Structure 1
Amino acid sequence: MDSPAISAGELVTLQELNPSSPLFKQGASFRVTGKLQEYDLETAVVAILDGDASLKVDTKHIQLNFRKGSMYQFIGELHVEPNNEAILKARVGRNVDGLDMNLYRQSLKLLRDFQAESRSNPLA
């Protein structure tokens, strides 16, 4: 019996994960980055922030030493609650202190531009 392939997690910004976004789907795999805003030791749920957008991340399956104000990147699956609140069930996490978020956003835009161009002109 074949096991399902594990997705690498689509690179997204926290601003893109809102209920009106086409990305906001139950079980979708994402890679997100943000600054640790809060951490609940009992539930292992962290809240990360990027600009005015935030996301809760369930970290019970990963081992990290969390520091408020540090930058973290997580890969996991999105779970949407009945009230349209989302939580990412992380399977991978890492500290990315020192990451230049402006440069990261620019590189993400360039990657998307390249991918869109490759899809529209596959033989070039």
Structure 2
Amino acid sequence: MATIASGALINLEELVPSSQHFKHGISLRVTGKLQDYDVETAVAVIVDRNASLKVDTQHLNINLRIGSIFQFIGELLLEPDNEAILKARVGRNMDGMDLNLYRQSLKLLRDFQAGR
């Protein structure tokens, strides 16, 4: 039986070609504000600060609303031009979450894990 990797928790700003997480097929968990959604292709674009990511939502049964905060878990696909798209297998609305506090808690979690 095949196991599905849990999504590595990252900020969108960390998803750059030099990152250890910028690999085809790696499982990621990302959070951002929905900036755009194309109903025909089921491709959403989420943003956080100055970073953005395309998310393929075709396998999700979720209501996407522009301006809402969403978290997606899925596998990163790298296109030939090195553009990344997350093929989401899980998605959830995170409205009400403070993104600044979320980033701070992620930093604290990483600091704690590094100290172990």
TM-score range, shorter chain: over 0.9
Q: Which has the larger radius of gyration?
A: 1
Query: For residues 7 and 23 of structure 1, what CA distance do their matches in structure 2 show?
Result: 13
- Following superposition, the deviation at residue 38 of structure 1 comes to 0.4
Per the normalisation by structure 2, the TM-score is 0.97
Q: Where does residue 6 of structure 1 map in the other structure?
A: 4
Q: Where does residue 92 of structure 2 map in the other structure?
A: 94
Structure 1 residue 85 corresponds to structure 2 residue 83: yes
- Structure 1: gaps (5+ residues): 119-124
- Following TM superposition, the consecutive aligned residue runs of length 4 or more in structure 1 with deviations greater than 3 angstroms are none
Query: For residues 91 and 10 of structure 2, what CA distance do their matches in structure 1 show?
Result: 15
Structural mapping, 1:46-61, within 5 Å: 46-61=44-59
Q: Where does residue 17 of structure 1 map in the other structure?
A: 15
Q: How many residues are paired up?
A: 116
What do the CA deviations read for 1:17-69 (whole angstroms, capped 9, x no partner)? 11121210111100000000000001100000001100000000111111100
Report the secondary structure of 1:55's partner residue: strand
Aligned partner of 2:78: which letter? V
Q: 1:42 aligns with which of 40, 49, 71?
A: 40
Per the normalisation by structure 1, the TM-score is 0.91
Give aligned-pair identity as a percent.
Answer: 67
